[in-house]
A and B are shown apart, each in its own frame.
Chain A
Amino acid sequence: MRVGQIVLRGQILTLGDENIPPIHAPTSGIITKIVKKKFSFFPNRCFSIISIKSDGQDKWIDYSSKRDYKFFSLNEIIQLIYNSGVVGLGGSGFLSSKKIERSIKQVHTLLINAAESEPYITTDDCLMQNFSKEVIQGCKVIAWILKIKNILIAIGDDKDLAYISIKKEIQSLPNFKIRKIKNKYPSGSSKQLIKILFNKEIPLGKHSINLGIIIFNISTVFSIKRSILNREPLIERIITLSDRNLSYQKNILVRIGTPISHILSEFNIKKCDIIMGGPITGFLVDDLNFPILKTTSSILCLKSNLMKNILERPCIRCTACSSACPIRLLPEQLYFYSKSLNHEKSREYHISECIECGICEQVCPSNIPLLTYFKKEKMQLRKIIFQENMSKKSKKLFMLRQHRLYISGLINENIICTNSTVNTTLNNAIVKDEDSNVNILKKSKYIMKKELESAIHRAKLKRNIK
């Protein structure tokens, strides 16, 4: 892919790797530029932005295979889901194909998460009201892939219309169930959902698959259905556009990659601060050219100058945060340790279990941005763990090299020793040995190169951390 290339809608732009799915062109047109850019609200992350000038025709790429999905093999279907770039649209961004692959023959229940993860967002509601049939089809597809019998749909208790429309669809289907749950943040997070529905807790460091339950967000189900039945990659999603007083609220279907400024101009919204994501865990966007991501579920417009600088006061240990935390962590201790960069302690207090729901930050009377601290601390911890792994690896490499050098040294000695003798068989052996010697030398050179690379890498990492 290069500048000037003509792409069609749905064409793969970048190939993915283990964690990143391929990315598709949202519309047809010409690639005009490819730039790398950093955004101030996403520190430590660099985005490559591919701009496509649309030709206005919106031509689809040709999808050849029109087979029924039931004739596919398991691997093929997983590959298909991967190729269409489906990720968890609830906000996690985890690869759906990977999730399915992991849960083969391990799960007995498919849990569809239709409870909105945050207040103000109504994408799931909208999806269920308008596309209930397709959603149910998607559930069936997943159930067919994983050979699951029970399907449970969890829905917030204030979504009556959606409840009715889903109920209508599943009337004749015995293994579908729908349940209303209390609409209280963060009941949309997977841990809380399982606690509410099954009264079980996911064991520490495990995944819901270990309990035999696989959880999908309802919009993910929808896009899986699209990808398998219609062979359509994930290039659009529903997002909620709302303001703080809910004086206007719309659910709109947008292509992924649309700049925010475009949406705003379409709806005549002027002069406001934009929060991307939910009101609790979202972040303020100050560059309106930022595109809609796959995990963006909502755009919240606040009047500008509403977000004043709020003073951060010292923590008075009032425990409002720890009594609100759904995971029963102790945010004030975590705050203390992450502020003083005491990584050992913060690991001891289970910072990695935090689901980043942001409740603690909301209830804090001292206006401490706890979640920001935790995110930072988590990042640091990840770096430290990564470094540890790196040092282990390079140590291993070093040991290997030492070993080889030692062996080659022995062989060299052997050569010297054996040259004096006139044993032909031994000499033959030496010749062979010399070959292997060269090989070993080559290999050790390779290893040295590797080591050097890793050393440079580590040095870079160190600099980054500083």
Chain B
Amino acid sequence: MDYRYTKINNIYVCRSTNHIMLLVICALVPGIIVECYYFKIAILIQVLLSVISSIIFEFIFQKLQKEKLYINFFDVSSILTGVLLGLSLPAFSPWWISIIGAFFSIIVTKKLYGGLGNNIFNPAMSGYAILLISFPIIMTNWSFQNNLEILNMFSIRDIMSIIFFTNLEDYYEIISRFCEASMFITQATPLEHIRIHNKNSIISVSPVVFSLDNFLIYRHWILINISFLFGGVFLLIKKIICWRISCSILLCLIIFYSIDFFYLKHVQIFPLIQLFLGSTMIGAFFIATDPVTTSITKIGRIIFGSFIGILIWIIRNFGGYPDAIAFSVLLSNSIVPLIDYYTQPRIYGKNKKWFL
């Protein structure tokens, strides 16, 4: 098709797709900076690794497909995927983890489904989920991050050597050594900690109240989440992401956590604080709102968001994985066509249906 005859343009100046994606990446910057403050250069290395590898995979695949180069190449979408993937990986995972993740994100979930716009699953999250299933020990190892004192002991050289120059067995050894040193069990994001604590409290009846001191250990998590929240609000103001999805996710979480809080007395955390633990904010504002894989109707988006919220709550409370964003987003992605079909808006002049 010849495009020249169609768009006259410039009457309504709209952002181009690239512009939108770039703004999303910009909105991620405060979160990245805060994470860098706590986790040192490690997080930056992860992000860079996954970004570069996703660009390279995109490039290779386009070469193989004999597509016109540079059309999708400068489409910032693959960069965005890389950034999101890098942020969701544990900061001290070895270098090949992010490359494998990028491979799954770009090639398997995006390109094999027909390129940008045709993928049904969120690329970053599917890459993450596959890594989580394949390398559970590495991927659930957040123990370094939970103890800031140990983190302060690392120099840049240490971080580099952990990420780049350890083979798998050494890696496990290092992990276990540090874990002993830090007196922490492995698999201890704050969410996990709370979960284990909850289970114990059910058994031991007398609940141990989380004190403020306990929270101070996790204050960096809360700060990181707040910085992502800022980015998300920025996007909402710019009207780049849809408020329906994020708000319904957060609202659902608040509602269900409040039920937890008021009726199941063993959970002693104020529901609002739960929102700032784990990767809730980045999930709600940056991952679930990826336009390609969400519903396109307004009501559909609310349903989609609430579905994610409910799934997060279920998986966190009853499932085996501490941070449920990836699986709940992917599961909700799979029901999007169904939602879309049943929530078609009432078109002009059609009789009213009962729910629209």
Chain A residues proximal to chain B, CB less than 8 Å: 41, 119, 191, 195, 201-204, 206, 244, 275, 279-280, 282-284, 300, 302, 307, 309-320, 322-323, 326-330, 332-333, 349-350, 353, 361-367, 369, 371-373
Given A316-B291, A363-B14; A369-B349 close (CB under 8 Å): no
Q: Which residues of B contact A302 (CB under 8 A)?
A: 8
Q: Of B71-79, B136-144, B165-173, which stretch is located at the interface? A: B71-79
Chain B residues proximal to chain A, CB less than 8 Å: 1, 3-12, 14-17, 19-20, 71-72, 75, 77, 115-118, 242, 291-292, 294, 296-298, 340, 344-351
Partner of B116, one of A195, A202, A280, A316: A316
Q: Which residues of A contact B349 (CB under 8 A)?
A: 191, 201-204, 206, 353
CA–CA, A41 and B344, complex, Å: 34
A207 to chain B, nearest CB (A): 11
Supply 4 further A-B pairs (C-beta < 8 A) apart from A307-B4, A318-B291, A332-B296. A201-B348, A204-B347, A204-B349, A313-B116
Partner of A311, one of B19, B71, B115, B344: B71
CA–CA, A317 and B16, complex, Å: 13
Given A284-B4, A367-B7; A317-B296 close (CB under 8 Å): yes
Contact, CB under 8 Å: A316 / B6:
no
Partner of B8, one of A307, A328, A330, A332: A307
CA–CA, A398 and B12, complex, Å: 55
CA–CA, A244 and B13, complex, Å: 14
Contact, CB under 8 Å: B16 / A365:
yes
CA–CA, A93 and B345, complex, Å: 31
Closest to B11 in A: A279
Q: Which residues of A contact B294 (CB under 8 A)?
A: 317
Closest to B10 in A: A244
CA–CA, A333 and B336, complex, Å: 13
Q: Which residues of A contact B296 (CB under 8 A)?
A: 317, 319, 322, 330, 332-333
A312 to chain B, nearest CB (A): 6
Contact, CB under 8 Å: A315 / B117:
yes
Q: Which residue of B4, B16, B17, B19 has the most chain A CB atoms within 10 A of its CB atom? A: B17
Contact, CB under 8 Å: A316 / B77:
yes
Contact, CB under 8 Å: B12 / A363:
yes
Q: Which residues of A contact B242 (CB under 8 A)?
A: 319
Closest to B290 in A: A316
Partner of A365, one of B14, B340, B346: B14
A293 to chain B, nearest CB (A): 17
Closest to A318 in B: B291
Partner of A353, one of B9, B15, B292, B348: B348
Contact, CB under 8 Å: B348 / A191:
yes
Given A316-B291, A363-B12; A328-B345 close (CB under 8 Å): yes
CA–CA, A119 and B6, complex, Å: 17
Closest to B8 in A: A279
Q: Shortest 6 CB-CB distances between A and B: which pairs?
A: A369-B6, A314-B117, A327-B348, A201-B349, A318-B291, A328-B345
CA–CA, A373 and B2, complex, Å: 11
Contact, CB under 8 Å: A369 / B344:
no
Q: Which residues of A contact B16 (CB under 8 A)?
A: 313, 365-367
A179 to chain B, nearest CB (A): 21
Contact, CB under 8 Å: A369 / B3:
yes
Q: Which residues of B contact A41 (CB under 8 A)?
A: 5
B89 to chain A, nearest CB (A): 24
Contact, CB under 8 Å: B3 / A318:
no
Contact, CB under 8 Å: A318 / B20:
yes
CA–CA, A203 and B118, complex, Å: 34
Contact, CB under 8 Å: B297 / A314:
no
Closest to B70 in A: A311
A172 to chain B, nearest CB (A): 37
Closest to B75 in A: A313
A379 to chain B, nearest CB (A): 14
Q: Which residues of B contact A323 (CB under 8 A)?
A: 298
B133 to chain A, nearest CB (A): 27
Given A201-B349, A280-B8; A362-B14 close (CB under 8 Å): yes
Given A203-B349, A366-B16, A367-B16; A316-B8 close (CB under 8 Å): no
CA–CA, A279 and B12, complex, Å: 11
Q: Which residues of A contact B20 (CB under 8 A)?
A: 316, 318, 365
B288 to chain A, nearest CB (A): 14
Partner of B12, one of A206, A309, A312, A362: A362
A328 to chain B, nearest CB (A): 5
Contact, CB under 8 Å: B11 / A364:
no
Q: Which residues of A contact B10 (CB under 8 A)?
A: 244
Q: Which residues of B contact A244 (CB under 8 A)?
A: 10
CA–CA, A214 and B265, complex, Å: 67
Contact, CB under 8 Å: B1 / A369:
yes
CA–CA, A371 and B296, complex, Å: 19
Closest to B240 in A: A318
Contact, CB under 8 Å: B11 / A317:
no
Closest to A371 in B: B6
Closest to A201 in B: B349
Closest to A364 in B: B14
CA–CA, A283 and B8, complex, Å: 8
Contact, CB under 8 Å: A316 / B348:
no
Contact, CB under 8 Å: B117 / A284:
no
CA–CA, A328 and B299, complex, Å: 13
Contact, CB under 8 Å: A314 / B19:
no
